């Protein structure tokens, strides 16, 4: 049986061109990028070449990029770093649908006395910028809003929020992990101060990410050691991972528009077929203003985890719209935040398409969904 991967928002396979870069670096570029000898300088060149490739993708100055271990570290560096450099009392504005990589450090700061406002987004999953303006206080030091939601794919009005934050003199951080490589990302056009990125969402390996830090943005360190990454992030750089991230960024820059158009067509084909052929279904969040590869749908009367397993047995890897933690199924905080009941949140599925997916695979997925949903509904009636 052929297995089809439709869970690209969770992680992506390493692209062949990127894999070549990793293997080459692991075998040949083993110097420490901080060393001044031949081997160290070879590693340094790879590091800076990747920095330029990523900077080109996001229209930034390479000197404003700091490489990290991934999106979570980049988010923590931004949220904790801004608040660590700010006077108290301090206030942070974020949303109720952020990734835990933002919500968890925010909760940590709250326990330490920082005031946190978590804005609601409504059924569309899209934040109203006026809500940010209304939440501002004299002591507000940070606004943190994700660019594209990992579960819904909804894209936030980042440039408009950036203008509001700039007028108030407040630092603006954006979690861009699910946006990079899927939609155009331009630091100058967006006007943000901090932007988090992750390699493994972009067909690069896991364990590498980056934080864009606009020149002049004050950040307190969250870890301590040597003078790597312009004193922003200590620790010997992961040169093979960084080089792979750079190669993936170059690949994304070349293929972004073509990939986006093709994946949006596949997503719409999937949604239209499901809505037409399976009763008791619908789309969570806005159908407009989404990343082109992402669809989140509910299947009433179904347990999402059971449907994931049923589809896996039929050869399709997808994910549930609910988070599974320590074996206990709890409703997704994103789906409940946009107004879904716990029951409907648990009956929701996320489909995230990628470069390898085809029309034939989407059509086969719809047939597998139709059969699986019918079977699960039938056995739940008799249970």
As annotated, the active-site residues are 324
Contact 243, 25 (CB under 8 A): yes
Cβ-count burial of 56 within 10 angstroms (0-12 exposed, 13-18 middle, 19+ buried)?
Answer: middle
Contact 305, 329 (CB under 8 A): yes
Contacts of 136 (CB under 8 A, 6+ apart): 93, 164, 168, 170
Q: What are the φ and ψ backbone dihedral angles of 245, each rounded to 5 degrees?
A: -60, -45
d(CA 123, CA 339): 6
d(CA 271, CA 285): 13
Reduce the DSSP state of residue 306 to 3 states and report it.
Answer: helix
Number of Cβ within a 10 Å radius of residue 11? 16
Contact 4, 365 (CB under 8 A): yes
Contact 225, 235 (CB under 8 A): yes
The DSSP secondary-structure symbol of 301 reads T
């Amino acid at each position: 049986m052929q297995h089809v991967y439709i869970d690209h928002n969770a992680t992506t396979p390493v692209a062949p061109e990127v894999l070549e870069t990793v293997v080459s670096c692991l075998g040949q570029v083993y110097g420490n990028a901080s060393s001044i000898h031949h081997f160290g300088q070879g590693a340094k060149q790879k590091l800076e070449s990747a920095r330029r490739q990523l900077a080109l993708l996001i229209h930034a100055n390479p000197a404003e990029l700091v490489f990290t271990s991934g999106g979570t570290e980049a988010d923590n560096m931004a949220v904790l770093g801004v608040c660590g450099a700010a006077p108290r009392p301090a206030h942070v504005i974020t949303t109720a649908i952020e990734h835990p990589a933002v919500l968890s450090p925010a909760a940590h700061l709250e326990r330490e006395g920082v005031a946190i406002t978590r804005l609601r987004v409504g059924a569309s999953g899209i934040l109203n910028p006026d809500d940010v303006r209304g939440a501002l206080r004299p002591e507000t030091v940070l606004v943190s809003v994700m660019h594209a939601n990992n579960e819904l794919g909804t894209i936030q009005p980042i440039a408009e929020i950036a203008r509001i934050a700039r007028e108030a003199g407040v630092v603006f951080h954006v979690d861009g992990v699910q946006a990079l490589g899927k939609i155009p990302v331009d630091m100058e056009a967006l006007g943000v101060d901090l932007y988090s990125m992750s390699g493994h969402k972009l067909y690069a390996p896991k364990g590498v990410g980056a934080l864009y830090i606009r020149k002049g943005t004050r950040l307190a360190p969250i870890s301590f050691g040597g003078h790597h990454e312009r004193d922003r992030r200590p620790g010997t750089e992961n040169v093979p991972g960084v080089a792979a991230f750079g190669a993936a960024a170059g690949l994304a820059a070349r293929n972004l528009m073509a990939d986006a158009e093709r994946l949006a067509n596949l997503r719409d084909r999937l949604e239209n077929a499901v809505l037409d052929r399976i009763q008791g279904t619908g789309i969570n969040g806005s159908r407009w203003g989404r990343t082109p590869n992402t669809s989140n749908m509910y299947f009433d009367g179904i347990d999402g985890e059971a449907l994931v397993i049923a589809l896996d047995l039929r050869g399709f890897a997808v994910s549930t719209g609910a988070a599974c933690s320590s074996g206990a199924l709890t409703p997704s905080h994103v789906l409940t935040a946009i107004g879904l009941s716990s029951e409907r949140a648990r009956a929701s599925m996320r489909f995230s398409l990628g470069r390898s997916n085809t029309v034939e695979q989407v059509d086969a997925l719809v047939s597998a969904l139709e059969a699986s949903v019918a079977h699960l509904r039938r056995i739940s009636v008799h249970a």
